[in-house]
Amino acid sequence: MAHDVEPRLLRAFVAVADELHFTRAAARLYVAQQALSRDIRRLERELGAGLFVRTTRQVALTAEGERLLPHARRVLRAQDELVAAFRGAAERPLLVDVGAPVGTAFRVLAEARERVPESCELVARFHSGLTGAAGELAAGRLDVSFGRFAGLPAGVRAELDHQPVRLEPMAVLLRDDHPLAARPAVPLAELAGETLYAGAGNAGTAEWTGLAARLFEGRGIAMAEPFPEIEGPEEFVRVVRKRGWSVLASVEFIEVPGMVLRPVVDPVPLSPVSMVWRRGLRHPGLEALRAVARELGERDGWGAPPGEAWWLPQEDARAMGRLSRTSPG
């Protein structure tokens, strides 16, 4: 076995291991697929081990590939830290829209901040809504956002890259005196006859409103009337309490005094969360965010639907790739 393994070969291996798809991995590395395949074959020769099982339908890690992956990640992280330490001028700040100071995106950001060197600044934005963020990403006024990638128009998606992060269970926010508030969880059928706020009227969260409309269809759940965009958690709390709305939410959500958050079950509706960035963006902070998202997903099972009874539109299942299978809901 060779004593020196080029980091380039390890980056090729990690990209294919993450994507489990040679075409997507090649696009991520900005290399031709043939060149990527050559690098993988060379690495396999140097290590004396097969790293992937390839068929016409799928790519999977071998046992040796699984064994190599954590070592390769550590080597590449160390190399990135070495380069950052001698880069000289600090990288420009990376602007990351996490929507709110709670939840999946904020957890990824907080963990990534612990990984990057002092010279790498990750600056949070709290605008919420991937539809609104997408234009900012394409224009270079924002670097990273999170949300439902399949809910963006095809032309917008073509300008962006994304990494599936989590199939996030949905919940409902209820007044604490609501008849359903005493339940530990709310069966989806019990929401028939209810009116839920899901961002209607806010163009910046159209992907979320569209997902809610798909969920409500045929179930007797009404969409709350359109309302102007609500900026910031404090204003959201004020408006929701004043209007007495029940709110379609995710299981990790801001606290609203006088209201309770209850998971929705039977089936569990899923909100597909991807990390999204401008195509071609290079930044050590982006790589740290991507690595943390993968590690948290593997550790906490973010890509696994909960049991057998769950709901997710087909186009979202496809966009989430290997994180999900066809929805039975």
Helices (H), the chain: 7-19, 22-29, 33-47, 63-85, 104-113, 130-139, 154-157, 206-216, 233-243, 284-300, 314-319
User: How sure is the predictor about 329, in pLDDT bands with cuts at 50, 70 and 90?
Assistant: very low
pLDDT in tens, 93-135: 999 999 888 999 999 999 999 988 888 899 999 887 899 999 8
| Overall average pLDDT of the 164-192 stretch | 95
In the predicted model, what is the mean pLDDT of the chain?
88
pLDDT above 70 as % of the chain: 94
Residue 325 pLDDT grade (very low, low, confident, very high; cuts 50, 70, 90): very low
Q: DSSP states of 128-143 as a string?
A: --HHHHHHHHHHTS--
CA distance 97 to 174: 27
pLDDT at 324: 41
Which of 139-153, 255-269, 285-299, 309-323 has the lowest average pLDDT? 309-323
d(CA 112, CA 104): 12
pLDDT at site 326: 39
Check residues 188 and 141 and name the one with the higher pLDDT. 188
As a whole number, mean pLDDT of residues 178-195 equals 95
Please give the Cα distance from 246 to 261 (Å, whole number): 10
C-alpha pair distances (Å), 71 with each of 51, 66, 68, 77, 84: 13, 10, 5, 10, 20
Asked if 41 and 54 count as a contact pair (C-beta separation under 8 A), the reply is no
Q: What is residue 3's predicted lDDT score, i.e. its pLDDT?
A: 63
User: At residue 317, does pLDDT exceed 70?
Assistant: yes
> Cα(49)–Cα(31) distance, rounded to whole angstroms?
24
pLDDT value at residue 90: 56
Pairing of strands 222-223, 310-311: unpaired
Locate 319 and state its tokens: 């966009």
Taking 80 as the threshold, does the pLDDT of residue 322 lie above it?
no
Mean pLDDT across 9-25: 90
23 or 269: which carries more pLDDT confidence?
269
pLDDT score of 2: 53
Q: How far is CA 49 from the centre of its chain?
A: 33
User: Between 272 and 245, whose confidence is greater?
Assistant: 272
The confidence score (pLDDT) of residue 95 equals 95
- More confident site: 242 or 173: 173
Which pLDDT value is given to residue 82? 78
* Residue 304 pLDDT > 90: no
CA separation for the pair 292, 269 (Å, rounded) = 25
pLDDT tens readout for residues 56-77: 778 999 999 999 999 998 898 8
pLDDT at 149: 96
Say how far apart CA 108 and CA 113 lie, in whole Å. 9
Residue 1: its pLDDT value, please? 52
Q: Which of 199, 238, 234, 236 is nearest to 216 (CA)?
A: 199
- Residue count of the chain, please give it: 329
pLDDT of residue 85: 65
Q: What span, in angstroms and rounded, lies between the C-alpha atoms of 23 and 164?
A: 16
| pLDDT above 70 (res 155) | yes
Specify which of 120-124, 198-202, 211-215 reaches the highest per-range mean pLDDT. Answer: 211-215
Alpha-carbon span 145 to 124, nearest angstrom:
10
Helix (H, G, I), strand (E, B) or coil at 228: coil
The pLDDT assigned to 327 comes to 47
